[in-house]
Structure 1
Amino acid sequence: MPGDEQDGKPAGASEGSREREARRIAAVRRYDILDTPPDGAFDRIAALAARLFDVPMATVTIVDSDRVWFKAAYGLEGATQTGRDASLSTSAILSDTPLIIPDTRHDALTRAHPMVAGPAGIRFYAAAPITTPDGHRLGTVDVLDTRPHRIAPEEATALTDLATLVMDQLELRLSALRMLRRERELLEAAHAARDRAEQERARTAAFAAALQSSLLPPNLPHVPGLQAACHYTTASVHDIGGDFYDIFPLGADRWAFCLGDVSGRGATVAALTSMIRHTLRTTALLEPDPRTVLETLNAALLADPAAGVRLCTLIYGTLVPHPAGGFTITLTGGGHPPAYHLRPAHQGLPPRAEPMQLSGGMLLGVLAEAPFVSRTFRLAPGEALLLHSDGLTASCTSHGARFDEMNLAAHLTHHAATSTAPRAAALIDDLAALLVTFPVGPADDVALLALSATLSEADGSPVGASGTTRTSGPRPHVRA
């Protein structure tokens, strides 16, 4: 459908063009993708496009009514959106075929464009439209360089294939959201059509698992001198919980980490959890004071009508390398169970697992003037820190007793006593094995995040290692 959007904008176009643009914008809204958090699948497509075309920049864009929003931006640090007049994507959605401009300074369409004539100095541009099954062009997959390029026809075909792959991801995401909305209606009809409902629950579980995974980092970042490991056990394969954790950089030699728990379950909780992670990441980059970060997040929760009466407990921490080795950690609490500082026997002191109490910290989403409490300490080489959600301490052991904070402290102290230097990966393995011994599984979702300061190599350089996200579900005989 070439020429659907005259000049890429509805303004000043014919009545038919305005109607087509309105239908295209309706399709953009239908996929509910604008302003969503970063997604590894789209980031990987942008990175693949850059490698395939040997260019420093590649984007996955969605063209909105008055802006071009970047779902992924490889090689464009911090770029999130631009005006339609300032983006070549506006021109690229005018055709079903790829737009390829080997040298933008010698092309009448682009020589005066701000991206070409301005500071960006783009000399090569190629894009393929992201087209829906019903023919609407949502945006583009773009590759850009400051040097001219010539590409072969098969490379143009590859760019079209990448745009089709983006469309496939959008369709899968839309399907998952639709299935989650239908889940409650289908379950209400379970008594009348039990077999059909069970089959639908199995399909829904797959979508729920995919969406649950999207709330957790696919892997943990490499931090020099730190080993990090994590684990997530869900209490129900049919619903989405609100437990989450994250580690992310704050700049040179500074990192942040968190573990939290949003009350309730379901798609609303998943959306709220995604908002909390996004707000926390964004605010942490702007605010050096951890208490201010939690105050900002608390205000966002109170202002969000979708949050309703949802509450969130949270531990937020920052990591800075310590001059004597290890890290200086500042923990700030929002009504969450305490983290544990594991230290092996040293200089006559016994091994211990100290609860890092943050008494007085209020959970988030309750009071506008909620107090938050911080505590700073050193995580020395050979020591570890554990953060956990309350699903761990709400579970019952094989003896029928609750595995409370006192039991957890004793278990962690034993781990410190039997380890030469507690390491994050070994600590997570130990607790994951413990969860398997609970006869009916955890009472609630369990999120675990462990950090350990590693010993240095012989040349004094720090060792860095990261664990990856591991998930598990309830035992098959447990009805969730």
Structure 2
Amino acid sequence: MSATGNAPENPGPGPGPDAGDDAAKSAFSALLEDSAEDLYENAPCGYLSTLLDGQIAKVNTTLLSWLGFDRDDLVGRRRFSDLLTVGGKIYHETHFAPLLRMQGEVSGIALELKTADGGRLPVLATSVVKTGSDGQPLLIRTTLFDARDRRAYETELLRARQEAERERERLQRLATTLQRTLLPPALAPVPGLDVAAHYHIASADEVGGDFYDLFPLAAGAWGLFLGDVCGKGAAAAAVTSLARYTLRAAAVYDPDPASALGSLNTVLHHEYQGDDPRFCTAIAGLLTPDDGGFTATLAGGGHPSALLLRADGTAGYLPTPGGQLIGVLPDAHMVSTTVRLDPGDTLLLYTDGLTEAHTALAGGRYGDEALLDFARDLAPTTAPHAVAALTDLLEAFGEGLDDDAAVLAVSVPTAPSEEPQ
């Protein structure tokens, strides 16, 4: 021990207080010793200098290693365009070189170079025309960045997009198939009536909630209904299926349309309460032959009123005021109305996707009044003609139709000589 206390007599070597500074200075000195030529040759990008005619005058080691050429293979022997693929050479001659002459600089152009073994190297090229003190162009300097990673990214992005498109097409096929199961494949022929229907899909990506049906009941009577479930997608499809089969079963048990809608209200209110309530609007009908025509009894539950197009050329709504949404209240009130259909008369049911279509008209929506004017122009007509005209109208809305729309029409035919044109 020394007289100074606990300090060792012969301390070993160790980092002094200036050791960190010395290391930083050494690193900085090493950077200063790097020659400009070494930085040029081994830069992380390719460098190329050419004469104004494109002849290669200088090329760095980085680019040579990428392409697999020796320096003597290129310098003084080839032009820059000789390194390009056929497509790249055409682009260089028609776009790249003319732009460079006009602007003096072209940046970030995607090109493909040919390697010595016949491969291809995607690059991003930036070229600058260097001028002398007199302002005259002397040579062209080009910087090339390896774009293989970018090409791989773009390829993967394209593959992902194609996969997403295939998945979208698959889901569209599933949605279309499911939509078809919610509608009758064809309307059954009704003795003494012409019938027609159409379903317009607003989006192929989602299943809509509109539904309709026409079916025989006992004693020569026929039942029909048309409705619209709130929402879209699988959840709405489940309610649509339930609504359709409930109405058919209820009408067989009791053909009164108001009773059938009451049964549907009970089922929906019981099944869809709590956090995910579901409801629909619907109009149900009973068609009964009556002395050369038909008696139609309709009941509505929150649904747009049916249209009646008469043989005399008039048209108007058959109001069912006060009908309440189906599935919201335990005892919803349904409203009925009865009308006679004579030869030449047409009864038309539709969902609100038709009247709520976006248009250039005042108010931005097609609306009830526009539909009534459309019906007046059609009358007198037949069920097939009315549905065909409405199909054309729905198509004409284009992107303005953002909700599915369904139409169902029945008409009593006239004598052949009295058929409306």
CA spacing shift, 1:244–1:191, aligned 2, 3 Å = farther
Q: Quick one: distance in 2 between partners of 1:327 and 1:372?
A: 22
Residues 1:280 and 2:247 aligned together = yes
**Is the contact between residue 272 and residue 278 of structure 2 (CA under 8 Å) also seen in structure 1?**
no
1:310 Cα offset (Å): 1.4
Within 5 Å, which residues of 2 pair with 1:80-479?
193-305=160-272, 308-323=276-291, 325-345=292-312, 351-397=313-359, 399=361, 401-416=364-379, 421-456=380-415
1:455 offset after TM fit, Å? 2.3
- Equivalents in 1 of 2:371, 2:164: separation in Å? 39
Q: Structure 1 residue 234: deviation in Å? A: 0.8
CA distance in 2, matches of 1:456, 1:339: 25
Across the two proteins, how many residue pairs are aligned to each other? 260
Residues of 1 paired with 2:223 and 2:354: CA distance?
A: 23
1:257 positional shift: 0.5
1:256 is aligned with what amino acid? G
CA offset at residue 311 of structure 1?
1.3
Deviations 1:277-334 (A, max 9, x none): 11111111011322221111100001114893111000000000012x2100000000
SS of the counterpart of 1:440? helix
Name the CA distance, whole Å, in 2 between partners of 1:298 and 1:254: 23
2-structure distance, mates of 1:233, 1:343: 25
Please state how far the C-alpha of 1:383 moved relative to its aligned partner.
0.6
SS at match of 1:282: helix
Would the alpha carbon gap of residues 191 and 353 (structure 1) be closer, same or farther in structure 2, given more than 3 Å must change? Answer: farther
Contact preservation (8 Å) 1:398, 1:437: no
Task: Give a deviation string over 1:311-370, Cα, whole Å, max 9, x none.
Answer: 1000000000012x210000000000111000132xxxxx22110110011010100111
* Cα distance in 1 between the residues matched to 2:295 and 2:258: 16
CA distance in structure 1 between the partners assigned to 2:158 and 2:289 by the alignment? 58
Letter in 2 for 1:253: G
Q: CA RMSD in A?
A: 2.2
Aligned amino acid, residue 301 of structure 2? G
Higher relative contact order (CA 8 A, sep 6+): 1
Change (3 A) 1:253 1:322: same
On the 8 A contact 1:398/1:439 being kept in 2, the answer is: no
Taking the TM superposition and a 5 Å limit, the aligned residue runs for 1:34-113 are none
Does the CA-based 8 Å contact 2:216-2:222 persist in structure 1?
Answer: yes
Match of 1:85 in 2: none
| Percent of paired sites with the same residue | 45
Task: In structure 1, give the amino acid aligned to 2:369.
Answer: M
What's the CA shift for 1:443?
2.1
1:306, 1:232 → 2: CA distance?
Answer: 29
Matches of 2:398 and 2:204 in 1, distance apart? 17
Would the aligned equivalents of 2:215 and 2:222 in 1 still touch at CA under 8 Å?
Answer: yes
Q: Which SS does the other structure have where 2:343 is aligned? A: coil
Query: What is the SS of the residue equivalent to 2:217?
Result: strand
1:291 & 1:267 partners in 2: Cα distance?
28
- Secondary structure in structure 2 of the residue aligned to 1:438: helix
Structure 1: runs of 5 or more not aligned: 1-189, 346-350, 464-480
Is the partner of 1:370 in helix, strand or coil?
Answer: coil
CA distance in 2, matches of 1:357, 1:440: 30
Residues 268 and 395 of structure 1: CA distance in aligned 2, closer, same or farther (over 3 Å): same
Q: Measure, in 1, the Cα distance between the counterparts of 2:266 and 2:398.
A: 40
For residues 391-441 of structure 1, what are the alpha-carbon distances to aligned partners after superposition, in whole Å with 9 as ceiling and x for unaligned?
00011235574210000000100111xxxx410000011111112221424
8 A Cα contact 1:302 1:366, kept in partner: yes
- Give the 3-state SS of the residue equivalent to 1:437 in structure 2: helix
Task: List structure 1 segments (4+ residues) > 6 angstroms apart after TM superposition.
Answer: none
Larger Rg: 2
TM-score normalised to structure 1 length: 0.52
* Contact 2:304 2:352 survives alignment (8 Å): yes
Q: Shift of the alpha carbon at 1:251?
A: 1.3
Distance 1:378 1:283 in 2: 24
One-letter code aligned to 1:296? S
Cα deviation, residue 208, structure 1 = 0.7
Cα distance per residue 1:375-397 (max 9 Å; x no partner): 00101110101100000001123
Tell me the alpha carbon deviations over residues 119-156 of structure 1, each in whole angstroms, 9 at most, x when there is no partner.
xxxxxxxxxxxxxxxxxxxxxxxxxxxxxxxxxxxxxx
What CA distance in whole angstroms lies between the structure 1 residues aligned with 2:245 and 2:395? 32
Alpha-carbon distance between aligned partners in 2 of 1:279 and 1:224, rounded to the nearest angstrom? 25
Q: Which SS does the other structure have where 1:278 is aligned?
A: helix
